[in-house]
Amino acid sequence: MVKVAIFGASGYVAGELIRLLLQHSSVELALIASESHKGKFLHQLHPNLRKIFNYRLEGYDLEKASKCDIAFVSSSYNSSLRLVPALLKRGLKVIDLTPMFRLKDPADYIRYYGFSHPHPDILKKAVYGLPELNRSEIKDAELVSCPGCIATSSILALYPLVKEGIVDSTVIIDSKMGSSGSGSKNSFSSIHSQRANSIRAYKPINHRHTPEIEQELARIKKTKIALSAHAVDIVRGLLATLHCFIEKEVEIKDLWRIYRTYYVNEKFIRIVREERGIYRYPDPKNLIGSNFCDIGFEIDESNRRLVLISALDNLVKGAAGNAVQCMNIMFGFDEAEGLYSSSPFPI
Amino acid sequence: MVKVAIFGASGYVAGELIRLLLQHSSVELALIASESHKGKFLHQLHPNLRKIFNYRLEGYDLEKASKCDIAFVSSSYNSSLRLVPALLKRGLKVIDLTPMFRLKDPADYIRYYGFSHPHPDILKKAVYGLPELNRSEIKDAELVSCPGCIATSSILALYPLVKEGIVDSTVIIDSKMGSSGSGSKNSFSSIHSQRANSIRAYKPINHRHTPEIEQELARIKKTKIALSAHAVDIVRGLLATLHCFIEKEVEIKDLWRIYRTYYVNEKFIRIVREERGIYRYPDPKNLIGSNFCDIGFEIDESNRRLVLISALDNLVKGAAGNAVQCMNIMFGFDEAEGLYSSSPFPI
Amino acid sequence: MVKVAIFGASGYVAGELIRLLLQHSSVELALIASESHKGKFLHQLHPNLRKIFNYRLEGYDLEKASKCDIAFVSSSYNSSLRLVPALLKRGLKVIDLTPMFRLKDPADYIRYYGFSHPHPDILKKAVYGLPELNRSEIKDAELVSCPGCIATSSILALYPLVKEGIVDSTVIIDSKMGSSGSGSKNSFSSIHSQRANSIRAYKPINHRHTPEIEQELARIKKTKIALSAHAVDIVRGLLATLHCFIEKEVEIKDLWRIYRTYYVNEKFIRIVREERGIYRYPDPKNLIGSNFCDIGFEIDESNRRLVLISALDNLVKGAAGNAVQCMNIMFGFDEAEGLYSSSPFPI
Amino acid sequence: MVKVAIFGASGYVAGELIRLLLQHSSVELALIASESHKGKFLHQLHPNLRKIFNYRLEGYDLEKASKCDIAFVSSSYNSSLRLVPALLKRGLKVIDLTPMFRLKDPADYIRYYGFSHPHPDILKKAVYGLPELNRSEIKDAELVSCPGCIATSSILALYPLVKEGIVDSTVIIDSKMGSSGSGSKNSFSSIHSQRANSIRAYKPINHRHTPEIEQELARIKKTKIALSAHAVDIVRGLLATLHCFIEKEVEIKDLWRIYRTYYVNEKFIRIVREERGIYRYPDPKNLIGSNFCDIGFEIDESNRRLVLISALDNLVKGAAGNAVQCMNIMFGFDEAEGLYSSSPFPI
């Protein structure tokens, strides 16, 4: 049994992480730690886990963690910057779910996060935890840094088309996100009476997921990303609509062929494009709770525009599920272990 | 492996049934049948199952069914009346998820459903499929008829208190239900623009679940039920608030003791009552997708009133999950087999 | 023109008050005051008012207020306790929208609000601002204290039946409320990801609106109230379902007659009971933004139970609209002035 | 008093039209006609209008209509094609709210609507009813054809920038629409359990509003439109995000200047762009029930991309309110008559 520690247990990502790891056949949840909620029962923070896992939260105990094989860090940004190096030093493998180790170029932290990164050396060795692209690096990584959810949905939709040279100019990403994406912190902007019945363009430019999408695609081919992020009145799920003007003549059957070629063996990618019915394109509603990323596409011939539609659950494939998938790779488990559960429908 | 047939595969209950049975270690989905959607792929009706189970729906093939061990019937009412006897005759065990075999007294079908029941003999031998009350009868049943969701939530909250003589007068049940409770049929009343932002008292009196609640409680003690049903703007979940005026002096600790005594070994009942926080009482949000029924309580001393609060997922413990639990009992499996998956949170 | 001051301008009630008063033909908004948001533009707090009323918020300026004819107080509880006496002393008529002057018996403040009321003398002369019951007292009042929204919906449904002796035992009120009912303060319990898809029994017993309902009905006949309050996933609106066991034989046509007799001349009460269709009973969806209280009813003959269904917009007839109606009475205006606007539909 | 007839009274647009016209000081609702609901009371279809307007629906009575000054047509497409010529022949001014007379080029009806238009001559003289662009033509029009809601929001955002030569290449429009946009017809795709918690890309290419946007902008400068339409989980409101790559160097202050110049006198356009807070950009939540179109903007310097954000209420500025505004122009009324009412907030 792999011994797992989780740091930052009170947030939504941690809740989902625990839910998934409890379904995992080869994992022992050895330490679940929260600084602010130490001593509380898990189910007081994650009411879904009542009677499923009876556990009293511990503090950030590095000593105890040092007996674990791997740590997931889903804490505050500041804690991550402190915990990750400390855990690595103690010999643990680490999967960080904050953005603190995603970007290779320290300058991006200054520009997008407003601080000078204290561990540029660790940035270098962190592996960007997107299994569909970086599986072999993840396998041998000490530190995996999990992507942001908009990044995951966008990169997975774009990667085969960038690789094949179909997409080669600036890509517009128009994302629509549920409220769980802003976490469990309370603020006036997140209260129900403000957020329900709303469509809020919360970040029409300069979104922080931009540099990581560009960074990962640049490993294939430099691609400019123009991202605008919206919040919509759902709790869970993300839909990214990608608009790309293309030079090459391309047909629907070419896109089918390319996506199938790249993703035929991927367990968590579904190509969704039907001629009729109401499930013609990806919709987060159809995958809540599961680790799928659904990808669809359409060609707008009058504008030589490609429309890619990518949906995922921001807390699963967009965070906790993807992290478990990375862990499975790192320890040689079946990549889908713990991630089999399908989505209840309709939600 | 138990060979399972499902009749009426297009509805929401069937979708959830398939999702759960796919997680079951000892079951083979041998026949999934739909009259109206024969030939379609399962994922065209249940988009969550795409890439999880590749299956082409068959018609209502009794021949094929006869090779199965058990059939779940979640079809139209008329089809159930026709299928259940036919399946029983062919020697299958049957779990019916329609209300067509729930009531013992044929007169109730005239009063509440407006027709004269064609099979009063079968009514007699049908077992009301609520494991927490009727476990031993379910074990030996040929035909199990699963409760309505309001009935399940109400009976589970009331049963220990009726048994203990705490509750002995008319009980008011005020239920609040999500839209999946009205199934996947389309009608003007069910469209989003009519149903969203609404609180609709769709059945303030004469609700069809009334006689089954009274029938099951009467096996302990005759209890009158006064049920008013409301639809609220969620898809999934049911909250029943039960108001009972009580004669006996009773304290919170007595209620704790009673519920614990009765339900300590029940895997799918959680007693939820906290002094503080936002998860003090049951809320369907905390159990969507899972087979739990959460029960809470409060005493209104100024009115000698007991307030019971009962929450469940109308499609799981209120339908498909409860049916799987019955099947597990009928075949001697662990009662929780296939039902381990916990609820994603928050949804 | 009547000169109006508003204290506590940042909350939802104040926002609606301003919206309605801007439609009023005989009112001048002379002072709109907020302690915490002084200096901000009105539309920064109430984005719906952008380009409709260009106003920079002032502080709590009693000097300036003294030139006004009437003040609406929708501030914090503490500020109300301080402002109301000060405004009365300066000769203004006052309409208070907090609960601070609703209850006649100071002991109720200790029991329900946890403090000893500093102005028991003012409690005595405050008029409970429910026009349909207390019109003539409101006309001559110096201080009107507006009811809580659950109280308004419940009293209006009960009053004719209590008066006629139909309802004479404990009444169970099961209320379902939108999130705007908890105001614009942010807390963990109010964030969208916690509150959406939820049905929360936030106050199953001991709700603070209980004593005011009992107080007002007691003026006709002592009536016990057993209230359980729920929050549902809508922003705006309230539905109260009232369950009453009755002794007297009563028929639907009697109820029609009674309600018509009492409310035939009431501009803001609609009796809603249809034989068919989806608008058979009151639903807050059908009156959002308007000052209506819709009342419906049903008789559960098997239980000698009366079910009353009462809907209103918690911020309009449940607060700001009702307050404007009171002001109209106090100044001899048409009672509906400023309140003509009907509800957009569907919302 | 202008005598008004409405054809097609059962739909949502007609409901809002009636609500607004009832607030109009110079209008008499002389005929409200519905073929399918003849004889019903208005409030049975539009429950918000109960006690506000007591009216029994009539059939499509052209004789009666001929005594009116103006007819609004919000019927089915087929009825519009029949009614509009008939009404014009009887000398009425007509405002059509269907798309049947919006497009000048009959070929567009073949391409986008799949039929050969029977009245190409009438298409020629129909005026596209967007007051902010075509005020003087509307003034003298016999037939005004009101824009689609996505078209209104998009054209109003683009027009000043196209005119000033800022936007001169293909514009990507990514729209997010509430469920009232698909009308009151019921279908499986529109039921609450399918539509709630969903983000559905219902028309990623070839949306029917494309040709009307291109048509109207072409009067200034030929502009290509690449539109992708999404449905989100709200009832009311539309947000369009427009992405434009620009050649010219442009700054935020230039955009402010241009929008102010063009729209300073427009009563129903608000420029929304704040540095902080949660109301920084347009959001349909802030204008539901009102006739505003809110426009915001941002410059993505890294991509020479302009992001325009445009919000309106699809049933008001996107349909009924805009039609009333047109009528006001046609009859020389104050353009805002009947349209003063502001939006309740929060909804």
D190-227 confidence digits (pLDDT tens): 999 999 999 999 999 999 999 999 999 999 999 999 99
Q: Give yes or no for residue B342 having a pLDDT over 90.
A: no
Q: Would you say B158 and B242 are in contact if contact means Cβ atoms under 8 Å apart? A: yes
Dump pLDDT digits (tens) for A85-140.
Answer: 999 999 999 999 999 999 999 999 999 999 999 999 999 999 999 999 999 999 99
Which has the higher per-residue pLDDT, C119 or C186? Answer: C119
Residue C80 within any structural domain of the chain: yes
Give the DSSP H or E segment for D21: helix D12-21
Q: Give yes or no for residue A341 having a pLDDT over 90.
A: no
Q: How far apart are CA D325 and CA D100, in angstroms?
A: 20
Q: Would you say B137 and B143 are in contact if contact means Cβ atoms under 8 Å apart? A: no
Local structure of B166: helix, strand or coil: coil
Contacts of A187 in chain C (CB under 8 A): 186, 191
Residue D113 DSSP symbol: I
Touching B (3+ Cβ pairs <8 A), the chains are A, C, D
First vs last Cα of chain B: how many Å apart?
Answer: 34
Q: How far apart are CA C300 and CA C316, in angstroms?
A: 31
Structure tokens at D233: 């989980």
Give the pLDDT score at D184. 86
Structure tokens at B321: 């999950």
Residue D340 within any structural domain of the chain: no
**Mean confidence (pLDDT) of chain B:** 97
Residues of C marked as catalytic: 149
First vs last Cα of chain A: how many Å apart?
Answer: 34
Give the pLDDT score at B309. 98
Q: Would you say A128 and A214 are in contact if contact means Cβ atoms under 8 Å apart? A: no
Structural Rg of chain B based on CA atoms: 20
Q: Please, what sign has the CA dihedral across residues C308, C312, C318, C322?
A: negative
- D261 burial level (CB within 10 Å; 0-12, 13-18, 19+): exposed
Which has the higher per-residue pLDDT, C342 or D251? Answer: D251
Say yes or no: B88 and B226 in one domain.
Answer: no
The stretches of chain B forming alpha helices (DSSP H) are: 12-22, 42-45, 62-65, 77-89, 106-108, 120-125, 131-139, 149-163, 192-195, 210-218, 252-263, 320-330
Q: Give yes or no for residue C340 having a pLDDT over 90.
A: no
| Backbone phi and psi for residue B346, each to the nearest 5 degrees, phi listed first | -85, 155
Dump pLDDT digits (tens) for C258-269.
Answer: 999 999 999 999
Give the pLDDT score at A342. 87
Give the pLDDT score at B319. 98
Residue D336 within any structural domain of the chain: no
What are the counts of helices (DSSP H) followed by strands (DSSP E) for chain B? Answer: 12, 13
The 3-state secondary structure of D156-212, one letter per residue: HHHHHHHHCCCCCCCEEEEEEECHHHHCCCCCHHHEHHHHCCCCEEEECCCCCCHHH
**C12-32 as b/e: b if 16+ CB within 10 A:** bbbbbbbbbbbbbeebebbbb
> Band of the pLDDT at C331, cuts 50, 70, 90?
very high
- Residue D56's CB is within 10 A of a number of other CB atoms, namely 11
Give mean pLDDT, residues B137-161: 98
Give the pLDDT score at B123. 98
Q: How many domains does chain B have?
A: 2
Dump pLDDT digits (tens) for A1-17.
Answer: 999 999 999 999 999 99
Q: How far apart are CA A117 and CA A81, in angstroms?
A: 9
Contacts of D179 in chain B (CB under 8 A): 191-193, 196
Assess A187–C contact: CB distance below 8 Å, yes or no.
yes
Give mean pLDDT, residues B305-327: 98
Distances (CA, A) of C9 to B166, C16, C34, C71, C183: 50, 10, 5, 12, 12
Give which of D48, D260, D268, D341 to mutate to test C binding, by max C Cβ within 10 Å.
Answer: D48
Q: HSE-up of C298 (CA within 13 Å, CB side)?
A: 26
Proportion of chain C above pLDDT 90, given as a percent: 96
Q: Would you say D347 and C236 are in contact if contact means Cβ atoms under 8 Å apart? A: yes
Q: How far apart are CA D99 and CA D104, in angstroms?
A: 11
CA proximity to C176, closest of B101, A33, B244, B231: B231
Q: Give yes or no for residue C239 having a pLDDT over 90.
A: yes
Give mean pLDDT, residues D56-61: 98
Dump pLDDT digits (tens) for B278-314.
Answer: 999 999 999 999 999 999 999 999 999 999 999 999 9
Structure tokens at D41: 């009371």
Catalytic residue of the set B149, B244, B293, B326? B149
Tracing tokens 């967007």 back to the chain, one arrives at: D130
Q: How far apart are CA A305 and CA A243, in angstroms?
A: 7
Chain D 220-259, residues with CB within 8 Å of chain A CB atoms: 224, 226, 228, 230, 232-237, 239, 241, 243, 245
Q: Give yes or no for residue B53 having a pLDDT over 90.
A: yes
In one letter, which amino acid is D89? K
Distances (CA, A) of B68 to B29, B72, B82, B126: 9, 11, 18, 20
Give mean pLDDT, residues B89-106: 98
Residue A253 within any structural domain of the chain: yes
The percent helix, strand, coil of chain A (3-state, each to 5) is 35, 20, 40
Tell me how far the alpha carbon of residue B272 is from its chain's centroid: 20
Pairwise CB contact (< 8 Å): B205 & C307: yes
Q: Give yes or no for residue D85 having a pLDDT over 90.
A: yes
How far is A302 from chain B, CA to nearest CA, in Å? 30
Say yes or no: A121 and A51 in one domain.
Answer: yes
Give the pLDDT score at C186. 85
Return the number of CB contacts < 8 Å for A and B.
107
Local structure of B344: helix, strand or coil: coil
Give mean pLDDT, residues B93-117: 98
Q: Give yes or no for residue B239 having a pLDDT over 90.
A: yes
Q: Would you say B211 and B103 are in contact if contact means Cβ atoms under 8 Å apart? A: yes
Residue D347 within any structural domain of the chain: no
How far is D33 from chain C, CA to nearest CA, in Å? 19
Give the pLDDT score at A104. 98
Give the residues across from C95 on adjacent strands.
C72, C144
- Residue D166's CB is within 10 A of a number of other CB atoms, namely 18
ipTM, interface predicted TM-score of the complex: 0.97
Say yes or no: B81 and B161 in one domain.
Answer: no
Q: How far apart are CA A345 and CA A279, in angstroms?
A: 13
- A178 burial level (CB within 10 Å; 0-12, 13-18, 19+): buried
Say yes or no: D207 and D286 in one domain.
Answer: yes
> Band of the pLDDT at C148, cuts 50, 70, 90?
very high
Say yes or no: A228 and A84 in one domain.
Answer: no
> Band of the pLDDT at D31, cuts 50, 70, 90?
very high
DSSP labels, D80-103: HHHHHHHHHHTT-EEEE-SGGGT-
Say yes or no: A285 and A325 in one domain.
Answer: no
Residue A128 within any structural domain of the chain: yes
Q: Would you say C220 and C162 are in contact if contact means Cβ atoms under 8 Å apart? A: yes
How far is C189 from chain A, CA to nearest CA, in Å? 8
Pairwise CB contact (< 8 Å): A193 & C182: yes
Q: How far apart are CA B8 and CA A318, in angstroms?
A: 34
Q: Would you say D338 and D24 are in contact if contact means Cβ atoms under 8 Å apart? A: yes
What CATH number is associated with residue A98?
Answer: 3.40.50.720
Contacts of D190 in chain B (CB under 8 A): 186, 191-193
Residue D56 DSSP symbol: B
Give the pLDDT score at A248. 87
Say yes or no: A265 and A191 in one domain.
Answer: yes
Q: Give yes or no for residue D93 having a pLDDT over 90.
A: yes
Say yes or no: D172 and D303 in one domain.
Answer: yes
Structure tokens at D212: 């009307």
Which distant-in-sequence residues (6+ apart) come within 8 Å of C145 by Cβ? C95, C96, C99, C100, C101, C102, C126, C127, C128, C129
Give mean pLDDT, residues B169-184: 95
Chain A 288-307, residues with CB within 8 Å of chain D CB atoms: 288, 296, 298-300, 302-303, 305, 307
Give the pLDDT score at D185. 85
Proportion of chain A above pLDDT 90, given as a percent: 96
Is A149 an active-site residue?
yes
Say yes or no: C142 and C174 in one domain.
Answer: no
Q: Give yes or no for residue C241 having a pLDDT over 90.
A: yes
Distances (CA, A) of B178 to A197, A347, B285: 18, 10, 11
- D3 burial level (CB within 10 Å; 0-12, 13-18, 19+): middle
Q: Would you say B284 and B239 are in contact if contact means Cβ atoms under 8 Å apart? A: yes
Q: How far apart are CA D236 and CA B279, in angstroms?
A: 31
Assess C184–A contact: CB distance below 8 Å, yes or no.
yes
- B27 burial level (CB within 10 Å; 0-12, 13-18, 19+): buried
pTM (2 d.p.): 0.97
Structure tokens at C293: 């209280």
In one letter, which amino acid is C104? K
Give mean pLDDT, residues B248-276: 97
Q: How far apart are CA C251 and CA A209, in angstroms?
A: 65
The stretches of chain C forming alpha helices (DSSP H) are: 12-21, 42-45, 62-65, 77-89, 106-108, 120-125, 131-139, 149-163, 192-195, 209-218, 252-263, 321-330
Pairwise CB contact (< 8 Å): C344 & D48: yes
Give the pLDDT score at B185. 85
Give the pLDDT score at B129. 98
CA proximity to C105, closest of C113, C96, C97: C113
Say yes or no: D209 and D290 in one domain.
Answer: yes
Domain, as residue range, for D216:
149-312
Chain B residue with the nearest C-alpha to that of C297: B204
CA proximity to C281, closest of D291, A166, B136, B200: B200
Dump pLDDT digits (tens) for C173-219.
Answer: 999 999 999 988 888 999 999 999 999 999 999 999 999 999 999 99
Proportion of chain B above pLDDT 70, given as a percent: 100
Structural Rg of chain A based on CA atoms: 20
**Mean confidence (pLDDT) of chain A:** 97
Say yes or no: A178 and A248 in one domain.
Answer: yes
- For residue D346, cis peptide bond before it (omega within 30 degrees of 0): yes
Residue B155 within any structural domain of the chain: yes
Q: Please, what sign has the CA dihedral across residues B65, B70, B76, B81?
A: positive
DSSP labels, B26-46: TEEEEEEE-SSSTTSBHHHH-
Give the pLDDT score at B224. 97
What CATH number is associated with residue C296?
Answer: 3.30.360.10
Return the number of CB contacts < 8 Å for B and D.
68
CA proximity to D291, closest of D33, D6, D77, D16: D16
Give the pLDDT score at A285. 98
Say yes or no: C142 and C158 in one domain.
Answer: no
> Band of the pLDDT at A185, cuts 50, 70, 90?
confident
Give mean pLDDT, residues C58-83: 97
